[in-house]
Amino acid sequence: MAHGVTASAPFSGQSPLDRGREQLPPLVVLYFIVLALVLLLTHGHFTTGGLLITTLAFLAYLASPWRAGRKPDRPWLTLETVFCVLWLAFSAALMIRNGLMYPQMNLWFVLLRTALTLNFVCAAATAVLLFSSGKMPRAARILLPAALVLVASCFVLTLKASPAPHIDVFTICSKAVDLLRAGHNPYDFLYADIYGGKYTYHPRLMYWPVVTYMITLGKLLAGDVRFGYVLAQFAAAAGLCLLGRRRGWSLEKTFLAVLVWFTFPVSFFVLEQSWVEGLLMPALVFFVYFTERRQWAAAAVMAGLACATKQYMIFFAVFSFVYVWRKAGRGKAFGYAGIASLTTMATMVPFLVWNWRVLLDRTVFEILRYDIRTESLSWIAFSINRLRVPFNASLSLALTVLLSVPALAVILRRGEVRPADLMFTQASVFSAVFLFGNQALCNYYYFLSFLVFLHLVLVDGTGSEA
């Protein structure tokens, strides 16, 4: 039993938020599919249609907690069957269009395409057997592990097939690691502008220390800064397996969940582009795992690492603190906040000691001075591109706050808050922030897609608590 607000709280009882959950939340599935489709077609770049359908799906998603107590219309349509269909659809999309922008026509690229084709064959065979018999076939015990090995190998093959992508994230991170290994502060350099002044920004290392450590590890181990992101994907998969085990899932269902995420249509595109959001995923998965085991100190370390990875994780810090308070009480929540803060600060100490002014300027103040990206998938870009007027900053803030109200209602009004509720709050808040933000590109929506996917995973089964 949680030690925070219990079922006797004023807002508990028989509200729609506390009437149980259906096995398959259709509005969560819908939002996940829409994000996958929009990113597949636009790569997170502005189109009016993509922006409109994403916004409508998000508004529908906001209603998902209030539909949670309704009995499923189709009890045979389980999360397992949905995972199988998504895996098949995503695999087909990757086989047709793997998403790489800068591949070299080498053996590695051939192997990548071959692995993706064989993965599709495994997905198709599993789907046919599953829907023809109505239950998971025995052959899945071979098909699913084989597919998992194939798709996992594709992350490594992507690095080989596209070893030198023409994107500033890759060139800056690669040079930053070289400078760090030579004993120089990588935050104190102006890097080459490979775009020739196309964007009004200063090419600098603007990521927080966890990213710097992971790109350094990646280059040390495999000669490529992106290898650290591959390791993060594998760690997230291990965390998903642990969560599936706690929920009493079969091994086949757990493998399906990992395959769905690994084959998300822009997975290899995001990796090729060197975007760092993948580093957040294992921290989030293990945060959930440790909170379900009521291991608050370990969960705090995960939260601290997440906050030391990307600047916008301040939203997660706030909501996770409220979540722990609701689950375990005020004392545990402040202890959690203290350990998380110390973890974040510990990752930053080397660079703060080196030159704290440079670190803060490059990773905070300079980012705040960035111009609006008119190619981003946001309503600010719509206002500039279609209406030819700047989007009012006060209106943007007001809409973001308004659309975050359902997240606050869920995490504050539940009689007993659950991990799925926290993921709903995060998906809701980040959706609002990105849709009305200045810099919402593919990597941001990729991270959002993972939050929605994790919500989908967590809403199926409560998980046991130690």
Closest CA to 348 of 337, 367, 362: 362
Q: Is 60 within the bounds of a domain?
A: yes
What's the confidence (pLDDT) of residue 200? 74
Give me the number of domains the chain comprises. 1
Residue 256: give the domain boundaries.
Answer: 16-458
What's the confidence (pLDDT) of residue 74? 55
Q: Is 9 within the bounds of a domain?
A: no
What's the confidence (pLDDT) of residue 70? 53
Q: Is 64 within the bounds of a domain?
A: yes
Closest CA to 28 of 70, 68, 61, 51: 61
Q: Is 7 within the bounds of a domain?
A: no
Structure tokens at 226: 């992106």
Distance CA 366, CA 202 (A): 9
Q: Is 2 within the bounds of a domain?
A: no
What's the confidence (pLDDT) of residue 165? 96
Distance CA 196, CA 194 (A): 6
Q: Is 144 within the bounds of a domain?
A: yes
Residue 250 vs residues 78, 140, 253, 256: alpha-carbon distances, Å: 13, 11, 5, 10
Distance CA 308, CA 350 (A): 13
For the purposes of burial, counting CB atoms within 10 Å of the CB of 402, is it exposed (0-12), middle (13-18) or buried (19 or more)?
Answer: exposed
Output phi, psi for 45, to 5 deg.
Answer: -90, 155
CB atoms within 10 A of CB 365: 10
Residues of the chain with pLDDT under 70: 1-23, 67-76, 460-466
Distance CA 273, CA 169 (A): 7
Contact criterion met (CB below 8 Å) for 112 and 272: no
Q: Look at residue 204 and give its three-state secondary structure.
A: coil
Closest CA to 111 of 166, 156, 164: 156
What's the confidence (pLDDT) of residue 17? 40
Q: Is 299 within the bounds of a domain?
A: yes
Q: Is 46 within the bounds of a domain?
A: yes
